[in-house]
Amino acid sequence: MNESILIIGAGHAGVQLAETLREHGHAGAITLVDQGAQQPYQRPPLSKDFVASAQEPEVLPLRSEDFYAQQRIELLTGARATAVDRAARTVTLSDGQQRGYDRLVFATGARNRVLSCPGAEDPRVIGLRTLQDAEILRRQLDGAQRVVVAGAGFIGLEFAASARARGIDVTVLHSAPRVLNRSVSAQLSNWFTQAHRGDGIELRLGEGVQSIDVQEDLLVQSSAGESCRADLVVYGIGVLPNIELAEASGLECENGILVDAALRTSDERVYAVGDCANVGRDGTRVRLESVQNAADQARSLARTLCGEPTAYSEIAWFWSIQGRHRLQIAGLAEPTDSSVLLGDPGSEKFSIARLRDGQLVAVESINRPADHAAARKLLARGERITEAMLAGASLKDLANAAPVAA
């Protein structure tokens, strides 16, 4: 395989793809283009350890510095792809140079939805996604006594818990009625609301940020007419997939770049992986924002590009660290799926099984990695696990038992 492969975006997906292509013996040129100026780095710690400690944190690179040269992967940092010409099979970069390709992969990720209310342009109003964001936030956090967090999704709550653990007064405003409403069951959402309130975070639900009066400090006005003083406002109100370049090149996009189960766009030479990819499978479409999804899609696509057509089929899993609590989710649930409690929420170690048509589809675990480990095995094996089976045995016992055909 001597084709040249150009990957736009050197995040978790892009770097993993380049690496796995070489592992599978791809001999042609591999070029990774990224608009960031630095070596590709790990994002998950940025909203957790990185801001949790007053000490200077170390950035964790995705791979060693000499990895790219050793693997003959051309890494172009500080280079933005500005145009794609699919007929000529070229990509134009921000410095004006043009690069040809045999196969093009969009691993462009997502960017923060920007808080757009009056006052949001103040430098003390900060979104958190990139290393630069995290470094700015760390500097501003030193000496801050009161922080308002806009949005109670994963990033907002991870940051809120980290800031609270540093003794900072934290108020979270969330316009939806439940925290983590896009991601977890109602039961788990309610449990997190109580847990964060118990740790001293003021959590206001159904109340968004209306405007910010920029004074010596910031006076945040909520949609419920309340006001709250802050040294700093941090927002985590969702992300938007980076589709503009793909869209401008005529590729079909809708909540991400549309790809088939093999991660291919309507152009057989062009693919998309990770946060920016909206994958069609079994008549549904799924776009996920997670490290596991990015890395596993990249591994799957590497096989396809090396001549072994592969439909992406990994079980999704997620994690979040919110203060003392470790959340792990295996599988994808829908709001309409039923919930079965496993264990005692009062013990702060429990799981919630989610079932659809009487069959296990996902497990949310709080401080119970054993349940998560077992759930991943069970879901990957595609076994039919029913509520009755969950009542009679632990997930670990079920995972260790002989498989039952679905």
When the beta carbons of 83 and 401 are compared against other proteins, the nearer one is: 401
CB of 292 to other proteins, least distance (A): 7
The reply to whether 180 sits near other proteins by the rule CB under 8 A is: no
Nearer to other proteins, 254 or 314 (CB): 314
Interaction between residue 343 and other proteins (CB under 8 A):
no
Of 212, 291, 298, 390, the one binding other proteins by CB under 8 A: 291
What angle separates helix 154-165 from helix 186-198, to the nearest 10 degrees?
20
Question: Should residue 351 be labelled a site residue for other proteins when binding is judged by CB under 8 A?
Answer: no
Q: Is residue 45 involved in binding other proteins (CB under 8 A)?
A: yes
> Shortest approach of other proteins to residue 282 CB, angstroms?
24
The least CB distance from residue 131 to other proteins, in Å, is 12
The CA-based angle 112-322-146, given to 5 degrees, is: 70
Of 223, 292, 310, 394, the residue at the interface with other proteins (CB under 8 A) is: 292
Write out the two tokens for 384: 């039919």
Q: Using CB under 8 A, which of 8, 75, 79, 321 touches other proteins?
A: 321
Q: Tell which one of 240, 288, 319, 343 touches other proteins (CB under 8 A).
A: 319
The yes or no reply on residue 63 touching other proteins (CB under 8 A) is yes
Residue 77 CA to chain centroid, in angstroms? Answer: 22
Q: Which stretch binds other proteins (CB under 8 A): 62-70, 137-145, 152-160, 183-191?
A: 62-70
Q: Is position 66 an interface residue for other proteins (rule: CB under 8 A)?
A: yes
Q: Is 369 near other proteins (CB under 8 A)? A: yes
First to last CA, the chain: 39
| 152 contributes a contact to other proteins by CB under 8 A | no
Of 66-74, 142-150, 208-216, 383-391, the segment contacting other proteins by CB under 8 A is 66-74
Q: Interface with other proteins includes 264 (CB under 8 A)?
A: no
Does residue 60 belong to the site contacting other proteins (CB under 8 A)?
A: yes
Of 58 and 142, the one with the shorter C-beta distance to other proteins is: 58
* Near other proteins by CB under 8 A: residue from 374, 378, 385, 390: 374
Q: Is residue 328 involved in binding other proteins (CB under 8 A)?
A: yes
Confirm or reject binding of residue 379 to other proteins (CB under 8 A).
Answer: no
| Between 58 and 357, CB nearer to other proteins | 58
If one asks whether residue 354 binds other proteins (CB under 8 A), the answer comes out as no
Looking only at residues 187 through 216 of this chain, which bind other proteins when binding is defined by CB under 8 A? none
Report the 3 state secondary structure along the chain: CCCCEEEECCCHHHHHHHHHHHHCCCCCCEEEEECCCCCCECCHHHHCHHHHCCCCCCCCECCCCCHHHHCCEEEEECCCEEEEECCCCEEEECCCCEEECCEEEECCCEEECCCCCCCCCCCCEEECCCHHHHHHHHHHHCCCCEEEEECCCHHHHHHHHHHHHCCCEEEEEECCCCCCCCCCCHHHHHHHHHHHHHCCCEEEECCCEEEEEECCCEEEEECCCCEEEECEEEECCCEEECCHHHHHCCCCECCCEEECCCCECCCCCEEECHHHEEEEECCEEECCCCHHHHHHHHHHHHHHHCCCCCCCCCCCEEEEEECCEEEEEEECCCCCCEEEEEEEHHHCEEEEEEEECCEEEEEEEECCHHHHHHHHHHHHHCCCCCHHHHHHCCHHHHHHCCCCCC
- Binding interface with other proteins (CB under 8 A): 12, 42-45, 48-49, 58, 60-64, 66-67, 70, 291-292, 295-296, 299, 319, 321, 326, 328, 367-370, 372-374, 376, 396
